[in-house]
Amino acid sequence: MKVLVTGGLGYIGSHTCVQLIAAGHQPIVIDNLSNSKLEVLNRVEAISGVRPVFHQGDVRDEAFLAGVFAEYDVQAVIHFAGLKAVGESVAKPLEYYDNNVNGSLVLARAMRSAGVKNIIFSSSATVYGDPQEVPITEDAPTGATTNPYGRSKYMVEECFRDLFAAEDDWSITLLRYFNPVGAHSSGTMGEDPQGIPNNLMPFIAQVAVGRREKLAVFGDDYPTPDGTGVRDYVHVVDLADGHLAALNALTDKAGLHIYNLGTGKGSSVLDMVHAFSAACGHDVAYEVQPRRPGDIAECWASTAKAEQDLGWKAQRDVSQMTVDTWRWQSQNPQGYQE
Ligand code: NAD
Ligand code: WQD
């Protein structure tokens, strides 16, 4: 099937394109290159043997989208495009609401005009805020997020909920990712953050490869087994396969479908440091610092619903996540070079 992939040159989008092609689908990629490089297309082609169709453009540009829908017989959309840095969203709320909320609304409008009513949206476990209990099930309360990025994801979920209530011939799937990490097993594709990484795994990887001196561990006084924050890290290729599973199970199945994509297992910051040290063969230097404002103690997914309805279950463990990240980071110490 022809699948429009917005933000398809980004970290999760690029891995999803590879899995889509491997499954015989045809990704039509759009991206404004605000957080990615054209070199990614070469890497997707080298892995897949197929160069995806690519159009540079913005999801907020309705005329651009109309042109893409007119040119290709798109059956479903996977919508990754957006901004994702929590700290930056506090400083630039208007940019975040414009890209993430307005971008999703313009896309939905263009889809309706084109008669395409299947969409899979990249949501986030951040919509659960600080969970009352773990593992988190999909019916847990949402909305109590603490930053504009998280609120933008929640708002888009609510917009799609209202859209489905008004037009029940849509198939809308909200996938709530936990903490995506890892890289393609070839070592040629991975996460390439610009500037200082905000997230744990890319920061550890840059310490391991010598780009940064040491990791700051944000707090060791949480009510967790070793005092550091616990998260549900999920391999990006498993995540990509989750999109494929959703596409297969839900395209043309009208409804508002909501799934967690995680492993169901929690790992602490120090678990990740130790796993990475084993993967790269030397200790990763770290220093404990105060808690980061807005962080929660722990969060991991209930995976039962995705397993039951989509037949999807993450296959790769933390060891595989760190080994693959290290292969990518050590082969591409400065990320993608054009
Ligand atoms: P990414 O930044 O690597 O990819 C996003 C891509 O979208 C980039 O290539 C960027 O250039 C493009 N883009 C941004 N704004 C655009 C616009 N207005 N028009 C067209 N293209 C645009 O991020 P990612 O990690 O691959 O995340 C993909 C999606 O998943 C995002 O929506 C993100 O919020 C969501 N998500 C990510 C995580 C995570 O930790 N990586 C967790 C939960 C949810
Ligand atoms: C993980 C753990 C930190 C960096 C964020 C977003 C969420 C989603 C995924 C997009 C925490 C600790 C981190 C560092 C550290 N993104 N840490 N030193 O905060 O769980 O989730 O990314 O949707 O919405 O909020 O991920 O990787 O930043 O942190 O000690 O330099 O690592 O305190 O316990 P987080 P993270």
Q: Give me the residue spans of the domains in the chain.
A: 2-181+234-262+303-315
Q: How far is the CA of 105 from the centre of ligand 2 (A)?
A: 27
Q: Which of 88, 295, 296 to mutate to test the pocket of ligand 2 (most atoms within 8 A of CB)?
A: 295
**What pLDDT digit, counting tens, does each position of 45-72 carry?**
999 999 999 999 999 999 999 999 999 9
Tell me what pLDDT residue 264 has: 98
CA nearest to 34, candidates 79, 95, 87 = 95
Residue in 149, 154, 177, 222 annotated catalytic: 149
- Provide ipTM, 2 decimals: 0.99
**Pocket lining: 135 vs ligand 1, CB cutoff 6 Å:** no
Longest dimension (CA), the chain: 56
At residue 90's C-alpha, the angle toward residues 84 and 92, to 5°, is: 80
Q: CA-to-CA distance for 231 and 298, rounded, in angstroms?
A: 6
Q: Is the pLDDT of residue 251 over 90?
A: no
C-alpha 171/C-alpha 121 separation (Å) is 11
The whole-number pLDDT of residue 35 equals 97
**Is 190 close to ligand 1, i.e. is its CB under 6 Å away?**
no
CA of 200 to the centre of ligand 2 (A): 6
11 lines ligand 1 (CB under 6 A): yes
Ligand 1 contact, 122 CB (< 6 A) = yes
pLDDT-based confidence at residue 338 (cuts at 50, 70, 90) = confident
Q: Output the CA–CA distances (angstroms, integers) from residue 81 to 4, 58, 77, 85, 307, in the order listed.
A: 11, 9, 11, 13, 26
Q: Closest ligand 1 atom, CA of 191?
A: 3
Look up tokens 């390439």; give the residue: 192
Would you say the CB of residue 288 lies under 6 angstroms from ligand 2?
no
For ligand 1, atom 41, the nearest C-alpha belongs to: 180
Give the residue-averaged pLDDT of 144-157. Answer: 95
What separation in Å is there between the alpha carbon of 159 and the centre of ligand 1? Answer: 19
**CA-CA distances (angstroms) from residue 203 to 91, 175, 192?**
21, 25, 11
pLDDT tens for residues 284-333? 999 999 999 999 999 999 999 999 999 999 999 999 999 999 999 999 99
Confirm whether 149 is a catalytic residue.
Answer: yes
Q: Which residues contact 311 (CB under 8 A, 6 or more apart)?
A: 245, 249
pTM attached to this predicted model: 0.99
Reading the block at residue 129, the tokens are: 């805020």
Confirm or reject CATH 3.40.50.2000 for domain 2-181+234-262+303-315, answering yes or no. Answer: no
Shortest-distance atom of ligand 1 to CA 13: 26
Closest ligand 1 atom, CA of 179? 40
- Please state, in angstroms and rounded to a whole number, the distance separating the CA atoms of residues 233 and 226: 17
In the reported structure, the alpha carbon of residue 107 is separated from the centroid of ligand 2 by a whole-number distance in angstroms of 28
Best substitution site from 35, 127, 151 to test ligand 1's pocket, by max atoms within 8 Å of Cβ? 35
DSSP string over 98-125 = IIIIIHHHHHHHHHHHHT--EEEEEEEG
CA of 107 to the centre of ligand 1 (A): 15
